[in-house]
Structure 1
Amino acid sequence: MDVLALCILLILLCFQWTVAPAAAEISWTYTGLVGQSEWSQYFPDCGGTSQSPVDVVTTQTKYDPSLTPLTPLGYDQHGYQPFTLFNNGHTAVIMLPEWMGLSGLPWFFTAVQMHLHWGSGGPSHGGSEHTTNGLSADAELHVVHYNSELYPNMSTAMTQRNGLAVLGILIVTGEETNVAFNNILHYLSRVRHADQRVSIPAFDVQSLLPEDLGRYYRYNGSLTTPPCYQSVIWTLFHERVRISKAQLLKMETILYSSKAAEADRMLLQDNYRETQPLNHRVIFTSFTAESGKELSSGLSLSGRFVCFSSAGEVTAIVIGVMCGCVGLAVIVRFVVKTIRFFTLLRRETVAVNSSTSSWDVLPSTRPAPMPRMDEPHKKQEVDLSMTSEGEKKEEPSLPPQTEP
Structure 2
Amino acid sequence: MDSVAPFVLFLLPGLQWAAAEDTSWTYTGMVGQSEWSEHFPECGGSSQSPVDVVTSQTKYDPDLSPLTPLGYSQHGNRPFTLYNNGHTAVIELPDWMSLGGLPWLFSAVQMHLHWGSGGPSSGGSEHTINGQSAEAELHVVHFNSELYPNASVAMTQRNGLAVLGILIVTGEETNPSFNNIINYLSRVRHADQKVLIPAFDVQSLLPTDLGRYYRYNGSLTTPPCYQTVIWTLFHERVQISKAQLLKMETLLYSSRAEDPDRMLLQDNYRATQPLNHRVIFASFTAESGKELSSGEVTAIVIGIMCGCVGLAVIVRFIIKTVRFFAYLRRERVAVNRMKQPEKENEKQQEMVLNCTGQAEKLEERSSAQSEP
Q: In which range does the TM-score fall when normalised by the shorter chain?
A: 0.7 to 0.9
Flag the 1:273–1:308 CA change in 2: closer, same or farther, 3 A.
Answer: farther
What corresponds to 2:125 in structure 1? 128
Please give the secondary structure, in 1, of the residue aligned with 2:108. strand
Does residue 186 of structure 1 match 2:195?
A: no
Aligned residue identity for 1:65: P
Distance 1:158 1:117 in 2: 20
Q: Is the 8 A contact 1:28 1:34 kept in 2?
A: yes
Distance 1:175 1:308 in 2: 18
Flag the 1:103–1:338 CA change in 2: closer, same or farther, 3 A.
Answer: closer
Please give the secondary structure, in 2, of the residue aligned with 1:24. coil
Aligned residue identity for 2:24: S
What corresponds to 1:278 in structure 2? 275
What corresponds to 1:257 in structure 2? 254
Aligned residue identity for 1:246: A
Flag the 1:124–1:80 CA change in 2: closer, same or farther, 3 A.
Answer: farther
Superposed, which structure 2 residues align to 1:226-237 within 5 Å? 226-237=223-234
Q: Is the 8 A contact 2:19 2:223 kept in 1?
A: no
Distance 1:254 1:83 in 2: 20
Distance 1:248 1:184 in 2: 12
Q: Is the 8 A contact 2:218 2:228 kept in 1?
A: yes
What corresponds to 1:361 in structure 2? none
Q: Is the 8 A contact 1:23 1:43 kept in 2?
A: no
Flag the 1:22–1:141 CA change in 2: closer, same or farther, 3 A.
Answer: closer
What corresponds to 1:31 in structure 2? 28
5+ residue gaps in structure 2? 1-17, 304-314, 340-372
Distance 2:271 2:296 in 1: 22
Larger radius of gyration: 1
Please give the secondary structure, in 2, of the residue aligned with 1:288. coil
Distance 1:77 1:217 in 2: 27
Superposed, which structure 2 residues align to 1:144-223 within 5 Å? 144-223=141-220
Flag the 1:308–1:145 CA change in 2: closer, same or farther, 3 A.
Answer: farther
Distance 1:219 1:308 in 2: 30
Please give the secondary structure, in 2, of the residue aligned with 1:214. coil
Aligned residues with identical type, % of pairs: 78
Flag the 1:123–1:138 CA change in 2: closer, same or farther, 3 A.
Answer: farther
Distance 2:122 2:239 in 1: 16
Distance 1:163 1:308 in 2: 41
Q: Is the 8 A contact 1:122 1:138 kept in 2?
A: no
5+ residue gaps in structure 1? 1-20, 301-306, 319-330, 356-404
Flag the 1:278–1:31 CA change in 2: closer, same or farther, 3 A.
Answer: same
Please give the secondary structure, in 2, of the residue aligned with 1:249. helix
Flag the 1:278–1:22 CA change in 2: closer, same or farther, 3 A.
Answer: closer
- How far is 1:123 from its partner? 8.2
Match of 1:143 among 130, 140, 144: 140
Distance 2:42 2:161 in 1: 15
Deviates more, 1:55-64 or 1:286-295: 286-295
What corresponds to 1:106 in structure 2? 103
Flag the 1:308–1:288 CA change in 2: closer, same or farther, 3 A.
Answer: farther
What corresponds to 1:49 in structure 2? 46
Does residue 79 of structure 1 match 2:79?
A: no
Q: Is the 8 A contact 2:98 2:106 kept in 1?
A: yes
- How far is 1:156 from its partner? 0.8
> Taking structure 1 as the reference length, what is the TM-score of the superposition?
0.70
Superposed, which structure 2 residues align to 1:61-80 within 5 Å? 61-80=58-77
Please give the secondary structure, in 1, of the residue aligned with 2:204. helix
Distance 1:45 1:338 in 2: 78
Q: Is the 8 A contact 2:126 2:133 kept in 1?
A: yes
Superposed, which structure 2 residues align to 1:241-320 within 5 Å? 241-295=238-292
- How far is 1:126 from its partner? 2.0
Cα root mean square deviation, aligned: 3.9
Please give the secondary structure, in 2, of the residue aligned with 1:160. coil
Equivalent pairs counted in the alignment come to 336
Q: Is the 8 A contact 1:177 1:243 kept in 2?
A: yes
Q: Is the 8 A contact 1:218 1:235 kept in 2?
A: yes
- How far is 1:206 from its partner? 0.6
Q: Is the 8 A contact 1:63 1:286 kept in 2?
A: yes
- How far is 1:122 from its partner? 6.2
Does residue 115 of structure 1 match 2:112?
A: yes
Please give the secondary structure, in 1, of the residue aligned with 2:38. helix
Give deviations 1:24-82, integer Å, cap 9, x for gaps. Answer: 31211111111100000000000000000000000000011111111111111111111
Runs of 4+ that moved beyond 4 A: none
Give deviations 1:285-312, integer Å, cap 9, x for gaps. Answer: 11111221245xxx67xxxxxx999xxx
> Taking structure 2 as the reference length, what is the TM-score of the superposition?
0.76
Distance 2:19 2:322 in 1: 91
- How far is 1:132 from its partner? 0.3
Q: Is the 8 A contact 2:19 2:224 kept in 1?
A: no
